[in-house]
């Protein structure tokens, strides 16, 4: 258990993990925050209209509403999303993982869209991530690490945006994670799904909404043999009130 040493527990953020019909990484995320980090975390049912004073909202991975129509398209209109959007627009911290990222895109909280993987296959494997911006609350703690080894598991993670949007993302340093080789080089062979510019995760301009396809919650417990994902949660906890 990692309880953040001398940190005053009262000042630790409260996490809310939203559960949509079809979410399947909700319990993994809850487990990591509760059992690995010893943090205050609750589940938020998608029909709720209150975020119950959470400081960080996590939209977990899964297949909300069976991925029907488009991934995330129906979950985006779940009752709780009105609150999540208000919260995010007021500067609240929101992390969308995999399907959660897709929901953030459909909700317009982040720009761009997700299309089917170039290979047409569902891809489930460990990949390496190069951090492109170490100044966000989600990534400050990653400083010094060349790449993160984190698993992906998705059929539609092929990120696409028009040139104008891409330029904005680049200019504002919003591309937080790119698929890379182990040494950090950005190559086509390191791109598992055809994402434009190897994009794996982006943040909004204000720096409070992060969407990422890889699963940090699946690489946070040392029992699983990899813990790089925990750096993202740790960074959030250490920097959110600073």
Query: Three-state SS for 226?
Result: coil
Nearer to another protein, 73 or 196 (CB): 73
Q: Is 25 a catalytic residue?
A: no
Nearer to another protein, 79 or 91 (CB): 79
Q: Is 27 a catalytic residue?
A: no
Range 92-126 burial, b when 16+ CB lie within 10 A, else e: bbbbbbbbbbbbbbbbebbbbbbebbeeeeebeee
Short-list 67, 87, 20, 23, CA closest to 48: 20
Short-list 217, 17, 11, CA closest to 232: 217
Min separation Cβ 78 and another protein, Å: 6
Min separation Cβ 80 and another protein, Å: 10
How many other CB atoms sit within 10 Å of the CB of residue 40?
16
Q: For residue 35, what is the DSSP state?
A: I
Q: Does 114 bind another protein (CB under 8 A)?
A: no
Nearer to another protein, 63 or 177 (CB): 63
Instruction: Work out which of 23, 71, 78, 208 binds another protein, going by CB under 8 A.
Output: 78
Report yes or no: 136 and 207 within 8 Å, Cβ to Cβ: yes
H helix runs in 63-221, sequence order: 79-89, 99-106, 163-171
What binding mask, one character per residue, do residues 43-72 give for another protein by CB under 8 A, x or -? ----------------------xx-xx---
Please list the residues that pair with 179 across neighbouring strands.
129
Q: Does 91 bind another protein (CB under 8 A)?
A: no
Instruction: Work out which of 7, 79, 124, 182 binds another protein, going by CB under 8 A.
Output: 79
Q: Does 42 bind another protein (CB under 8 A)?
A: no
How many chain residues are in contact with another protein, going by CB under 8 A? 10
98 token code pair = 């995999």
Short-list 126, 79, 76, 123, CA closest to 103: 76
Q: Is 215 a catalytic residue?
A: yes
Nearer to another protein, 73 or 186 (CB): 73
Q: Does 86 bind another protein (CB under 8 A)?
A: no
Q: Does 77 bind another protein (CB under 8 A)?
A: yes
Report yes or no: 150 and 180 within 8 Å, Cβ to Cβ: no
Report yes or no: 58 and 92 within 8 Å, Cβ to Cβ: no
Nearer to another protein, 156 or 228 (CB): 156
Q: Which residue among 83, 98, 106, 156 is the active-site one?
A: 98
Selected range binding another protein among 75-83, 178-186, 188-196, 230-238, rule: CB under 8 A: 75-83
Tell me which residues touch another protein (CB under 8 A). Answer: 65-66, 68-69, 73-74, 76-79
Q: Which residues are catalytic?
A: 98, 215, 217
């Amino acid at each position: 258990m990692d309880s953040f040493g001398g940190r005053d527990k009262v000042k630790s953020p409260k996490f809310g993990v939203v559960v949509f019909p079809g979410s399947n990484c909700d319990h993994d995320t809850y487990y990591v925050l509760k059992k690995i980090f010893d943090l205050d975390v609750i589940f938020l049912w998608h029909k709720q209209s209150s975020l119950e004073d959470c400081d960080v909202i996590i939209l977990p991975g899964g297949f909300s509403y069976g991925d029907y129509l488009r991934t995330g398209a129906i979950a985006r209109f779940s009752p709780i999303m009105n609150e999540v959007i208000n919260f995010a627009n007021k500067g609240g911290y929101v992390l969308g993982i995999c399907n959660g990222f897709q929901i953030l895109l459909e909700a317009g909280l982040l720009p761009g869209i997700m299309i089917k993987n170039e290979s047409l296959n569902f891809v489930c494997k460990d990949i390496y991530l190069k951090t492109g911006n170490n100044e966000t609350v989600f990534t400050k703690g990653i400083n010094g690490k060349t790449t993160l080894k984190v698993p992906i598991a998705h059929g539609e993670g092929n990120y696409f945006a028009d040139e104008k949007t891409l330029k904005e993302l680049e200019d504002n340093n919003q591309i937080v994670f790119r698929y890379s080789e182990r040494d950090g080089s950005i190559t086509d062979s390191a791109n598992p799904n055809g994402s434009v510019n190897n994009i794996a995760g982006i943040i909004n301009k204000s720096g409070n909404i992060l969407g990422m396809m890889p699963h940090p919650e699946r690489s946070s417990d040392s029992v699983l043999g990899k813990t790089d994902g925990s750096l993202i949660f740790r960074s959030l906890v250490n920097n959110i009130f600073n």
